[in-house]
């Protein structure tokens, strides 16, 4: 697999990363540990060198699995994890955020142990904490970098002003936010800013939480623990209304002898050379399909056709329920 550089600080990773969250949380019951390890190691075999996790996934369980799965390959992979949510002593999720510098350093130490490593390649603030100046957050990560415990600083779902302020204290290597043909909002302000500052972009949900695979329709039933049950964009009515974007991908995919997911990933990769999407999956066949998206070449005519058709589609349903929407873009 080809590689790409995130930011100007020397972080080189595979063009397609692997988002590990779904192995432990978000999309139904956790995957069996043996299966999760098998999928992660199959990704390594397929050329993936960039793996994304976070302490809140589980909580903690995802980092444990990622650490065990990648231990034999640690020298050849890059691991990103995140801090910033409140978690109780027994791994229970608590309300609110916590990016106090002392807490950031505590999280780093705990994550290093769970990941079975002596350094975190990319350490993201998971969500911007309005109670802690971003300069203090950047300063804390800077100290971790100086101590050799972290290599690169990242932000997730941060707004433009926050990104600028953080970058002035400690260069930001990458921003992680949602981006896909289903959510193109970053194109208006965030992507131009990242280009200006030399910051890489790591889109999560590049397949729109599975919708762009073409395997979800208005009749699909999700597990009771699946996060999509509370996402307005995934109500049956919204799924039916939003089918137009899947139809667009199907048409292009049929012509190119590819799948809708592969076209969706190839489209993202064609936007900028410093964008590295991180699709996740629990299934080996889906992993193989996603990896195929990294080698699919879309022509300039293909891209014009996709963009022109996408521009005419009005998507229905909010991206997040209101309580989560408040945590993004700050």
Cα distance between residue 61 and residue 54, in whole Å: 9
Residue 307: cis peptide before it, omega within 30 degrees of 0: no
Cα distance between residue 217 and residue 291, in whole Å: 24
pLDDT, residue 214, reads: 96
pLDDT, residue 164, reads: 98
Catalytic residue among 57, 124, 179, 320: 57
* β-strands 120-125, 150-156 pairing: parallel
- Tell me 32's DSSP state: P
Question: Where are the extended beta strands (E) located within the chain?
Answer: 3-6, 11-14, 18-19, 50-52, 78-83, 85-87, 93-97, 120-125, 150-156, 172-178, 200-204
Decide if 57 is catalytic.
yes
- Interval 192-212 mean pLDDT: 98
- List domains and CATH numbers for the chain: 3-325 (3.20.20.100)
Q: Which of 265, 241, 256 is nearest to 302 (CA)?
A: 256
- Interval 58-72 mean pLDDT: 98
- Interval 195-222 mean pLDDT: 97
- Interval 148-152 mean pLDDT: 98
Cα distance between residue 43 and residue 216, in whole Å: 24
Confidence of residue 92 (pLDDT cuts 50, 70, 90): very high
- Interval 123-132 mean pLDDT: 98
- pLDDT over 70 for what percent of the chain? 100
Cα distance between residue 218 and residue 243, in whole Å: 9
- Interval 275-285 mean pLDDT: 98
pLDDT, residue 89, reads: 94
Could you tell me which residues come within 8 angstroms of residue 133 by beta carbon, excluding any fewer than 6 positions away? none
Q: Is the pTM of this model over 0.85?
A: yes
First vs last Cα of the chain: how many Å apart?
35
- Interval 131-139 mean pLDDT: 98
- Interval 31-49 mean pLDDT: 98
Confidence of residue 249 (pLDDT cuts 50, 70, 90): very high
> What helix, strand, coil percent values describe the chain, rounded to 5?
45, 15, 40
Cα distance between residue 204 and residue 215, in whole Å: 19
Q: Which residues of 72-96 are buried (b: 16+ CB within 10 A; e: fewer)?
A: eeeeebbbbbbbbbebeeeeeeeee
Q: Following CA atoms 278, 284, 286, 290 in sequence, which dihedral angle do they give, to the nearest 10 degrees?
A: 40
Q: What is the number of other CB atoms lying within 10 angstroms of the CB of residue 23?
A: 29
Q: Which residues of 99-121 are buried (b: 16+ CB within 10 A; e: fewer)?
A: bebebbbebbeebbebbbbebbb
Q: What is the mean pLDDT of the chain?
A: 97
- Interval 320-324 mean pLDDT: 91
pLDDT, residue 329, reads: 92
- Interval 25-29 mean pLDDT: 94
Integer angstrom CA distances of residue 213 from 43, 205, 246, 265, 322: 19, 11, 8, 10, 26
């Amino acid at each position: 697999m080809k590689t790409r550089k995130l930011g100007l600080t020397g972080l080189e990773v595979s063009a397609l990363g692997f988002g590990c969250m779904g192995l432990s949380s978000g999309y139904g019951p956790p995957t069996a540990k043996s299966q999760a390890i098998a999928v992660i190691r199959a990704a390594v075999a397929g050329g993936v060198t960039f793996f994304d996790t976070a302490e809140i996934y589980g909580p903690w369980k995802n980092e444990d699995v990622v650490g065990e799965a990648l231990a034999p390959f640690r020298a050849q992979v890059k691991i990103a994890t995140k801090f910033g949510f409140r978690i109780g002593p027994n791994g229970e999720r608590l309300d609110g955020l916590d990016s106090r510098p002392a807490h950031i350093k505590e999280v780093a130490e705990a994550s290093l142990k769970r990941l079975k490593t002596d350094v975190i390649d990319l350490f993201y603030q998971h969500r911007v904490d309005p109670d802690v100046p971003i300069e203090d957050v950047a300063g804390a990560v800077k100290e971790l970098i100086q101590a050799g415990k972290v290599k690169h600083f990242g932000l997730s779902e941060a707004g433009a002003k926050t990104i600028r302020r953080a970058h002035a204290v400690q260069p930001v290597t990458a921003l992680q936010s949602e981006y896909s043909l289903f959510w193109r909002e970053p194109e208006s302000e965030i992507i131009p800013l990242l280009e200006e500052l030399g910051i890489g972009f790591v889109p999560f949900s590049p397949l729109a939480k599975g919708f762009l695979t073409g395997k979800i329709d208005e009749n699909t039933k999700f597990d009771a623990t699946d996060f999509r049950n509370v996402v307005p964009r995934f109500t049956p009515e919204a799924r039916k209304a939003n089918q137009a974007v899947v139809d667009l991908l199907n048409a292009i995919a049929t012509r190119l002898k590819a799948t809708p997911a592969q076209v969706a990933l190839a489209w993202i990769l064609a936007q900028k050379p410093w964008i590295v999407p991180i699709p996740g999956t629990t299934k080996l066949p889906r992993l193989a399909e996603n990896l195929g998206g990294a080698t699919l070449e879309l022509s300039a005519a293909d891209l014009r056709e996709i963009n022109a058709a996408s521009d005419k589609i009005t998507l229905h349903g909010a991206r997040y329920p209101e309580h989560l929407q408040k945590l993004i873009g700050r």
